[in-house]
Amino acid sequence: MIAKVCKSGFMGLALTVASLHASSETFGQAAQQVAAASPRRSTPTEFEFGETTRIARDNDWTQWRGPNRTSVIESSPLAKWNDLSKLQKKWSVPLGESYSGPIVTEDAVFVTETVNKKYEVVRALDRETGKELWSHRWDGAMTVPFFARSNGDWIRSTPIYDEGRLYVGGMCDVLVCLDAKTGQQLWVIDFVKEMKTGLPPFGNVPSPLIDGEFLYTQAGNALVKVNKATGQIVWTSLAQSSDIMSAGAFSSPIIAEIHGKRQLLVQTRLELAGVELEKGEVLWKQKVPTFRGMNVLTPLPVGNRVFTSTYQGGSFLFDIVHENGNWSVKEVWKSRLEGYMSSPVLIGNYVYMHLRNQRFACIDLESGEDKWITKGFGKYWSMIACGDRILALDESGKLLLIAANPEEFNLLENKSIADDTWAHLGIRGNEVFVRELKAMTVYEMGE
């Protein structure tokens, strides 16, 4: 029997905690040290991102995996980092449990938490001091199936900030829009009520995406387009069954331009698909082998191709074909290497990915050949890349600085900074934002 209880539903307007101090816009094993080789930059990529997924210059960390949802940023001091000993704690604030990554703007850090197994809370913290600017809460806790409970049953979805508003996905399949300066609730969608679906068995997990005037997310056992200003549902697509092996979703969508057509790349728990943005038409889709629907990674668009990897399924590069107005999918190659929860980064022609067996690997994107595979690391990594530098954080709180090199694994340095870190890290300038399981901590790289 699956236990899944929302404590009291959404109950219309949520509670707002009046803590308006100022205005603001706003997922172990220890890593094995490997002798560092001379850093070597990989060659420029032969696979170009489409215009809509090009690496952005914006350094704000306002959504899942950064400016383009790829965890690769173009301009950052990270590109020149060599010494993690210079990384010093700036401030830390205790919080309730969460797997949501931090959202960072010029003035504020936005975080979520589950409190007393009853409430979901959003807090805005001053970026310089950690002082609370405001908080907002609603009744929203639920219990996940027993076999997943070791990973907690607290809030998971990383919010998104856009044009002075913060959009937050709650575990009970709600989407809440807040004024980022005050925390005032502007609108809420209860997808269980609106779409007459049951609760997703593992809670709402995907992180919403915004493009222009619209927000896209996987909720209500479907892909949903929402008017970001009003909260009106525009269309739904890719409807899934309510079976425990296919209901809900774990992966977050991303936008790509493929054969000149802007489209959403979406992984349901069973399929990879390209969806037209205006009306939600499914242009193409491809079944992706996986165990119990554990299709977690954010798909990686590379020109007219898409890379993904699944639990017990392997890694795949798919060629998306468009001929005579028809779309189709061709498998270019399949690798035995299995990703799991950690979305990869692309540097040059190579995919760098943390594997289900807790190792780290480099994959040649052209051939599917694994260039190297390390010995064991932690259970989960979140990663950010700039130039040939990869900053990775494992679930035990170990931060790793890696020089990307397809010829050999090159760990420059590692540093333990926390105890329990399953949320995706963030970066802005010389600051690193770490959402520990029970705290929000900011580190700053010294001179």
Per the domain annotation, does 304 fall within a domain?
yes
Q: Is the pLDDT of residue 124 over 80?
A: yes
Q: What is the mean pLDDT of residues 32-48?
A: 33
pLDDT of residue 28: 32
Q: Is the pLDDT of residue 56 over 90?
A: no
Q: Please report which confidence band the pLDDT of residue 115 belongs to, taking 50, 70 and 90 as the band edges.
A: very high
Lowest mean pLDDT among 3-12, 161-170, 377-386: 3-12
Q: Please report which confidence band the pLDDT of residue 152 belongs to, taking 50, 70 and 90 as the band edges.
A: confident
**Which residues are bridge partners to 333 per DSSP?**
317
Q: Is the pLDDT of residue 271 over 50?
A: yes
Q: Is the pLDDT of residue 52 over 60?
A: no
Q: Is the pLDDT of residue 27 over 50?
A: no
CA distances from 344 to 8, 11, 297, 361 (A): 37, 39, 8, 10
Per the domain annotation, does 107 fall within a domain?
no
Per the domain annotation, does 1 fall within a domain?
no
Q: What is the mean pLDDT of residues 139-143?
A: 87
Q: Is the pLDDT of residue 19 over 60?
A: no
CB proximity list for 329: less than 8 A, separation 6 or greater:
284, 285, 286, 318, 319, 320, 321
Q: pLDDT over 90 for what percent of the chain?
A: 80
Q: What is the mean pLDDT of residues 423-432?
A: 97
Q: Is the pLDDT of residue 181 over 60?
A: yes
pLDDT of residue 151: 76
pLDDT of residue 59: 65
Q: Is 192 helix (H, G, I), strand (E, B) or coil?
A: helix
Number of domains within the chain:
1
Nearest in space to 63 (alpha carbons), one of 261, 279, 211 = 211
382 or 33: which carries more pLDDT confidence? Answer: 382
Q: How many CB atoms lie within 10 A of CB 127?
A: 23
State phi, psi for 24 to the nearest 5 degrees.
-155, 145
Q: Is the pLDDT of residue 377 over 60?
A: yes
**Which residues are bridge partners to 170 per DSSP?**
174
Domain that holds residue 288: 27-97+165-445
pLDDT of residue 324: 95
pLDDT of residue 143: 84
Q: pLDDT over 70 for what percent of the chain?
A: 87
The CA distance from 293 to 74, in Å, is 34
Per the domain annotation, does 279 fall within a domain?
yes
Nearest in space to 195 (alpha carbons), one of 157, 247, 158, 230 = 247
Q: Is 314 helix (H, G, I), strand (E, B) or coil?
A: strand
Q: Please report which confidence band the pLDDT of residue 24 belongs to, taking 50, 70 and 90 as the band edges.
A: very low
* CATH classification of the domain holding 238: 2.130.10.10
pLDDT of residue 7: 53
Q: Is the pLDDT of residue 57 over 50?
A: no
Asked if 209 contacts 164 with a C-beta cutoff of 8 angstroms, the reply is no
Per the domain annotation, does 378 fall within a domain?
yes
Tokens of 252: 């977050």
Per the domain annotation, does 106 fall within a domain?
no
Per the domain annotation, does 132 fall within a domain?
no
Q: What is the mean pLDDT of residues 334-344?
A: 96
DSSP 324-381: TTEEEEEEEEEES--B-S---EEETTEEEEEBTTS-EEEEETTT--EEEE-S---S-E
Q: Is the pLDDT of residue 146 over 50?
A: yes
The chain-wide mean pLDDT, for the chain, equals 88
Per the domain annotation, does 88 fall within a domain?
yes
Question: Which tens digits make up the pLDDT trace of 74-111?
Answer: 999 999 999 999 999 999 999 999 999 999 999 999 99
Question: Which tens digits make up the pLDDT trace of 300-320?
Answer: 999 999 999 999 999 999 999
Q: Is the pLDDT of residue 72 over 70?
A: yes
Could you tell me the end-to-end alpha-carbon distance of the chain, in angstroms, rounded to an integer? 56
